[in-house]
Amino acid sequence: MKRRYAIGIDYGTESGRVLLVDLSTGEEVATHVTTYSHGVIDEKLPETSEKLGHDWALQHPGDYIDVLRQSIPEVLSQSGVQPEQVIGLGIDFTACTMMPLDSKGTPLCLLAEWKDNPHSWVKLWKHHAAQDEANRINEAAAQRKEKFLLRYGGKLSSEWMLAKAWQILNEAPDVYEHADLLMEAADWVVMQLTGELVRNSCTAGYKSVWHKRDGFPSRDFLRSLDPGLEQLADTKLRGPIKKLGTRAGGLTDEMASLTGLIPGTAVAVGNIDAHAMVPAVSVVTPGKLVLTMGTSTCHLILSDNEVHAEGIAGVVEDGIIPGYYGYEAGQSAVGDIFAWYVNEAAPIDVKRQASETGMSIHEWLEREAAKLSPGASGLLALDWWNGSRSVLMDADLSGVIVGLTLQTRPEEIYRALLEATAYGTRAIIDTFTQGGVEVNELYACGGLPQRNRLLMQIYADVTGKEIKIADTAQTGAFGAAMFGAVAAGTEKGGFGSIVEAAEKIARVREETFKPIEANVRIYDRLYSDYKELHDYFGRGGSDVMKRLKAMKTNNSR
Ligand X SMILES: O=C(CO)[C@H](O)[C@H](O)COP(=O)(O)O
Ligand Y SMILES: Nc1ncnc2c1ncn2[C@@H]1O[C@H](COP(=O)(O)OP(=O)(O)O)[C@@H](O)[C@H]1O
Which residues form the interface with ligand X (CB under 6 A)?
12-13, 94-95, 125, 272-274, 294-296, 298, 328, 330
Choose between 453 and 514: whose C-beta lies nearer to ligand Y: 453
494 near ligand Y, rule: CB under 6 A: no
Kindly report the CA angle at 250 between 246 and 252, in degrees rounded to 5? 145
449 near ligand Y, rule: CB under 6 A: no
Say which entry of ligand X, ligand Y, none residue 274 contacts (CB below 5 to 8 A, set by partner kind).
Answer: ligand X
Q: Name the 3-class secondary structure at 120.
A: helix
520 and 514 Cβ atoms separated by less than 8 Å: no
Among 61, 335, 479, 494, interactor with ligand Y by CB under 6 A: 335
| In the complex, minimum distance from the CB of residue 371 to ligand Y, in angstroms, rounded to a whole number | 16
How would you classify the pairing of strands 5-11 and 86-93? Answer: parallel
Question: Which value, in Å, is the radius of gyration of the alpha carbons in the chain?
Answer: 23
Among 58, 381, 448, 545, interactor with ligand Y by CB under 6 A: 448
| In the complex, minimum distance from the CB of residue 221 to ligand Y, in angstroms, rounded to a whole number | 33
Q: Which among 327, 388, 394 has a CA at the least distance from the CA of 152?
A: 327
Choose between 332 and 377: whose C-beta lies nearer to ligand X: 332
295 near ligand Y, rule: CB under 6 A: yes
Q: Is residue 556 packed enough to be buried (19+ CB in 10 Å), middle (13-18) or exposed (0-12)?
A: exposed
End-to-end CA distance of the chain: 66
| In the complex, minimum distance from the CB of residue 145 to ligand Y, in angstroms, rounded to a whole number | 37
132 near ligand Y, rule: CB under 6 A: no
DSSP of 237-290, one letter per residue?
T-S-EE-TT-EEEE--HHHHHHHS--TT-EEE---BHHHHHHHHTT--STTEEE
| In the complex, minimum distance from the CB of residue 253 to ligand X, in angstroms, rounded to a whole number | 31
Helices 498-505 and 273-280: angle between axes, nearest 10 degrees: 60
Q: How far apart are CA 235 and CA 11, in angstroms?
A: 27
Strand positions, DSSP E, 65-133: 86-93, 98-101, 122-123
158 and 134 Cβ atoms separated by less than 8 Å: yes
Say which entry of ligand X, ligand Y, none residue 88 contacts (CB below 5 to 8 A, set by partner kind).
Answer: none
540 and 486 Cβ atoms separated by less than 8 Å: no
Q: Give, for 131, the enclosing helix (H) or strand (E).
A: helix 131-143
Choose between 181 and 277: whose C-beta lies nearer to ligand X: 277
Among 4, 13, 191, 244, interactor with ligand Y by CB under 6 A: 13
Say which entry of ligand X, ligand Y, none residue 95 contacts (CB below 5 to 8 A, set by partner kind).
Answer: ligand X
| In the complex, minimum distance from the CB of residue 449 to ligand Y, in angstroms, rounded to a whole number | 9
Choose between 173 and 347: whose C-beta lies nearer to ligand Y: 347
Within 8 A by CB and 6+ apart from 225, the residues are 136, 137, 140, 166
Q: Which among 151, 158, 152, 136 has a CA at the least distance from the CA of 221?
A: 136
341 near ligand Y, rule: CB under 6 A: no
Choose between 172 and 293: whose C-beta lies nearer to ligand X: 293
Say which entry of ligand Y, ligand X, none residue 419 contacts (CB below 5 to 8 A, set by partner kind).
Answer: none
| In the complex, minimum distance from the CB of residue 295 to ligand Y, in angstroms, rounded to a whole number | 3
170 and 156 Cβ atoms separated by less than 8 Å: no
Say which entry of ligand X, ligand Y, none residue 298 contacts (CB below 5 to 8 A, set by partner kind).
Answer: ligand X
Within 8 A by CB and 6+ apart from 393, the residues are 153, 154, 155, 157, 311, 313
Q: What are phi and psi of 554, to 5 degrees?
A: -65, -40
Choose between 199 and 415: whose C-beta lies nearer to ligand Y: 415
DSSP of 390-428, one letter per residue?
SSS-BTT---EEE---TT--HHHHHHHHHHHHHHHHHHH
| In the complex, minimum distance from the CB of residue 455 to ligand Y, in angstroms, rounded to a whole number | 6
Choose between 276 and 392: whose C-beta lies nearer to ligand Y: 276
Cβ neighbours around 281 below 10 Å, total: 27
Say which entry of ligand Y, ligand X, none residue 474 contacts (CB below 5 to 8 A, set by partner kind).
Answer: none
| In the complex, minimum distance from the CB of residue 254 to ligand Y, in angstroms, rounded to a whole number | 28
Say which entry of ligand Y, ligand X, none residue 272 contacts (CB below 5 to 8 A, set by partner kind).
Answer: ligand X
- Helix (H) and strand (E) counts for the chain? 18, 21
297 near ligand Y, rule: CB under 6 A: no
40 near ligand Y, rule: CB under 6 A: no
Q: Name the 3-class secondary structure at 515.
A: coil
299 near ligand Y, rule: CB under 6 A: no
Near ligand Y by CB under 6 A, which window of 382-390, 446-454, 488-496, 536-544? 446-454
Within 8 A by CB and 6+ apart from 422, the residues are 455, 458, 459, 461, 462, 463, 523
Choose between 4 and 207: whose C-beta lies nearer to ligand Y: 207
Choose between 181 and 365: whose C-beta lies nearer to ligand Y: 365
Among 339, 370, 404, 520, interactor with ligand Y by CB under 6 A: 339
Say which entry of ligand Y, ligand X, none residue 254 contacts (CB below 5 to 8 A, set by partner kind).
Answer: none
Among 205, 294, 449, 494, interactor with ligand Y by CB under 6 A: 294
Choose between 249 and 447: whose C-beta lies nearer to ligand X: 447
| In the complex, minimum distance from the CB of residue 28 to ligand Y, in angstroms, rounded to a whole number | 16
| In the complex, minimum distance from the CB of residue 95 to ligand X, in angstroms, rounded to a whole number | 5
| In the complex, minimum distance from the CB of residue 328 to ligand X, in angstroms, rounded to a whole number | 6
479 near ligand Y, rule: CB under 6 A: no
Q: How far apart are CA 338 and CA 418, in angstroms?
A: 7
Choose between 114 and 152: whose C-beta lies nearer to ligand X: 152
Choose between 153 and 447: whose C-beta lies nearer to ligand Y: 447
Show contacts with ligand Y in window 172-201 (CB under 6 A): none
Residues interacting with ligand Y, by CB under 6 A? 12-14, 294-295, 335-336, 338-339, 362-363, 446-448, 451-452
